[in-house]
A and B are shown apart, each in its own frame.
Chain A
């Protein structure tokens, strides 16, 4: 097996056992990148020099017989809305085309401390707004399974590069499904952790109360490994967990799911759901029953109102978070202005793309005096109700099963003209962000057209352990690691 085909676990093990060096790993991945990146367009920035320097440090550590970090020598790609000290971080926006952060995001610092090797920054929908990575100001990323198909979004670049074997792991961010949906579209594992489990410090904010960083990986164990490295309290993020979490998921991940209570919300299987997806998920339910889990249908009537609440809240927060991009201190500045107001207006008009502007306007409207109660306030109430309903359900169930996306991966350009249709593809994922819950998206089948299908497992707050356990058990039954795109 070539190095680029290995899982993160296998790579680290190989380095520790001196089967190959960290430098060999970086070289192998960059060879793969030079061969396949022109077909996928998953990266916005590559950091070969930095990666080689880091690899040499790791190799010296090995030579000196020192303990290697949790992610020792594992090549990882980072979504381009996560700040990397000295490395361009663009949010795939013209606005930040030349922005070089003066600091590392907490997750990046933790990756470095865990001896991971950062190999590049990945493409995304501009400011993480979108479901297809077509809103990138720079380029369209292609789905490695079919280059005419979108990779999903907004973390489309991260999902695509893991799927194409150009990175062993990747970080993405998930505000309404932005890790899980591209993971499903590209046939990889995407985890959106509980809100607060992973520090947001250094993640360029979209919807502050919804955003969460998480890993994209080739399999469940790699996902758990990555989470172990980045999770836990951060003094720079007041919304991160209060107590330091040093949870070790590996010790429980292989335990049996016998007796586990799994709920399947029927509202997540309504008429809008693609039949092939429904069929695949039913297959998973059957397998889980076979290995001893207790599965039953439940009612959770929240999908549609959740979508409205999500778009109001996320856009409202975005309208405020994106205010700082005014062309004065950093980022894009218009060439032609004769007053301060003009400088700000034109820099923003020219620097932001259509979707970003649409959401800023929507969010500004929702917060405006006279409309606040009707929109933002109402959305907050809905959100509280959704959260309560989930909490109630989790009194009786360990985890919930649902589809990730109502539709199969679609063609590049297919939904660009219809934002509402694009928004609808988030219908099964946004509620999880509104409630702050953890959810994992894992491959569970392949469509007749040869495209991956994803399954979503939802857990209670800080119930990542349960997610990994169920997902791992199912993965063992499905053997989806056998599924690789023919690139």
Chain B
């Protein structure tokens, strides 16, 4: 029996606006609890929302990036429910007249390239955060996040595997980053993903009961949760127990590595959606759409092609560098200084990634400016220091913020590239090792390797190896011919 997996995603992304969706409080992450609040986002009686135009523009921009149809007129609605994290007892969202409809994202996995259709994008406000103090029975509420603008992107059930879902989310994330739509920090919750998943027998064209998965806070969790749920459902089908697959919401428990039921359809709330009368319709005219279209930055797909053609990078390198907006911008800034693209890519994918990982920094937080890295690469290319020494210098630059020249001078890392000085060292080494010289003359070529080692030792590793080898070879020739 073979099965096909049907997956649809719902993605929430916090929009990159300075202020919240309906008031002027900062929308930033990381403030002290309830610092970013005012009577409006706290829902104090009598207050009213005023729609943040920047958020509307970002939502339209998202729609344009994702090839959606932009609604000339959309509407805000109220979603009513009681929970302490929503201070008004309703969330202002969009119900039946979303700001964007349709659209698609093209994805590539090792197996397939496919187009994933979108159903809609709508604008809504985020909720506050409940903090349950352990063993005290006390819960605290932080409303800093209440009223932060979100877009919800809903796909059609077009994804066919956990791998495709991850590829989709990666592609979408990078497009949102490129568009300046959202920070997309999954660990901070500025990009969140829920998944709907069902199975059907291969060849069927029906949609079976789906299960909604929540708490998928990284690509890895998304992959694991979908694979686990896929397997759970498959086992039930195989044993003829598909009736046990019920419409429900299940939470992914990363520690246990399984999905656990949260609530079933019977517990589903009646949200009593109805139009938000405190706000007028959201009107988007063609002139505004044109204006926004003109500000659209290059998207990852286009940039990938350009990096392939212009810099000759390999697909795998492109996936990593272009897949991350900050990295690709760093790369371009580096090559703009004059760094050879190959060397630039090697540095970024090598030492840079290693150090970022060690320090737990994001790609947007690289402490070495591109022009400083360029200077280091130049020092190495000029043979003033070895590559090994260069990596040591880079690590120092990364950690201290000092520039390459200072570090090289201070550590005395400069290579000996002075011919006469090298000649003197080599003469000393040859005089001290007459046996090796005769071995070489007798045809034992590895004697030269031994002599190089002696030269490096005598120069305390600073001899320019290329130049030293050249001089040594010249001297050896002379010695042989003179005998």
Contact = CB atoms under 8 A, between A and B. Distances in A.
Interface of A: 82-83, 89, 91, 96, 99, 101-103, 105, 200-205, 208-209, 235-239, 316-317, 319-320, 323-326, 328-330, 340, 344, 364, 367-369, 372, 376
Contact of A329 (B42, B50, B139): B42
B88 interface: yes
Please provide the 9 A-B residue pairs with the shortest distance between their CB atoms, ordered closest to farther.
A323-B89, A367-B272, A209-B277, A208-B277, A204-B45, A83-B46, A202-B46, A204-B46, A324-B89
Nearest to A235: B50
Given A317-B277, A364-B272, A330 B82 contact: no
A326 B82 contact: yes
Nearest to A203: B46
B43 interface: yes
B45 A201 contact: no
B272 A369 contact: yes
6 contacts: A103-B39, A203-B46, A235-B50, A320-B78, A323-B90, A330-B45
B31 interface: no
B428 interface: no
A460 B101 CA distance: 38
A105 B272 contact: no
Contact of A96 (B45, B84, B274, B278): B45
Contacts of B39: 101-103
Given A316-B274, A367-B80, A101 B89 contact: no
B280 interface: yes
B87 A324 contact: yes
B136 to A, nearest CB: 15
B359 to A, nearest CB: 41
B320 interface: no
Contact of B46 (A205, A235, A317, A326): A205
B84 A239 contact: no
Contacts of B48: 200-201, 236-239
A238 B45 contact: no
B80 A101 contact: no
B26 interface: no
A425 B362 CA distance: 67
Contacts of B141: 328
B279 interface: yes
Interface of B is mostly: loop
A93 B78 CA distance: 25
A343 to B, nearest CB: 10
Nearest to A209: B277
A196 to B, nearest CB: 10
Given A83-B45, A324-B89, 9 more contacts: A83-B46, A89-B45, A202-B47, A209-B277, A238-B279, A324-B87, A328-B141, A340-B139, A372-B272
Interface string B214-244: 0000000000000000000000000000000
Given A201-B47, A201-B48, A320-B272, A340 B84 contact: yes
B51 A238 contact: yes
A324 B88 contact: yes
Contacts, number: 98
Interface of B: 39, 42-51, 78, 80, 82, 84, 87-90, 139, 141, 270, 272-274, 277-280
A201 B46 contact: yes
A316 to B, nearest CB: 6
B395 to A, nearest CB: 51
A376 B46 contact: no
Given A320-B274, A368-B272, A376-B274, A238 B50 contact: yes
A204 B44 CA distance: 9
A367 B273 CA distance: 7
B51 A320 contact: no
B89 A320 contact: yes
Contacts of A201: 46-48
A328 B143 CA distance: 13
Nearest to B39: A103
Contacts of A328: 84, 141
Contacts of A209: 277
B51 to A, nearest CB: 7
Contacts of A101: 39, 44-46
B281 to A, nearest CB: 10
Contacts of A316: 274
A89 B47 CA distance: 14
Of A96, A320, A328, A368, most buried by chain B (CB within 10 Å of CB) is A320
B277 A326 contact: no
B48 to A, nearest CB: 5
A320 B90 contact: yes
A100 B217 CA distance: 41
Nearest to B84: A328
Nearest to B45: A204
Contact of A236 (B50, B78, B80): B50
Contacts of B90: 320, 323
A323 B86 CA distance: 10
A359 to B, nearest CB: 15
A238 B274 contact: no
A364 B82 CA distance: 13
B82 A344 contact: yes
Contacts of A236: 48, 50
Nearest to B80: A320
Nearest to B79: A320
Nearest to A210: B277
Given A323-B90, A324-B87, A324-B89, A239 B272 contact: no
A324 B270 contact: no
Given A99-B45, A237-B48, A328-B84, A208 B278 contact: yes
Contact of A324 (B43, B49, B273, B277): B43
A239 B278 contact: yes
B80 A105 contact: no
A129 to B, nearest CB: 15
Contacts of A200: 48
Nearest to A367: B272
A435 to B, nearest CB: 15
A204 B46 CA distance: 4
A202 B46 CA distance: 4
Q: Which of A91, A102, A323, A328 has the most CB of B within 10 A?
A: A323
Nearest to A323: B89
A105 B47 CA distance: 8
Contacts of A105: 46
B425 to A, nearest CB: 79
A239 B43 contact: no
Contacts of B45: 83, 89, 91, 96, 99, 101, 204-205, 324-325, 330
A136 to B, nearest CB: 17
Contacts of B274: 316, 320, 367, 372, 376
A394 B41 CA distance: 40
Contact of A238 (B42, B139, B278): B278
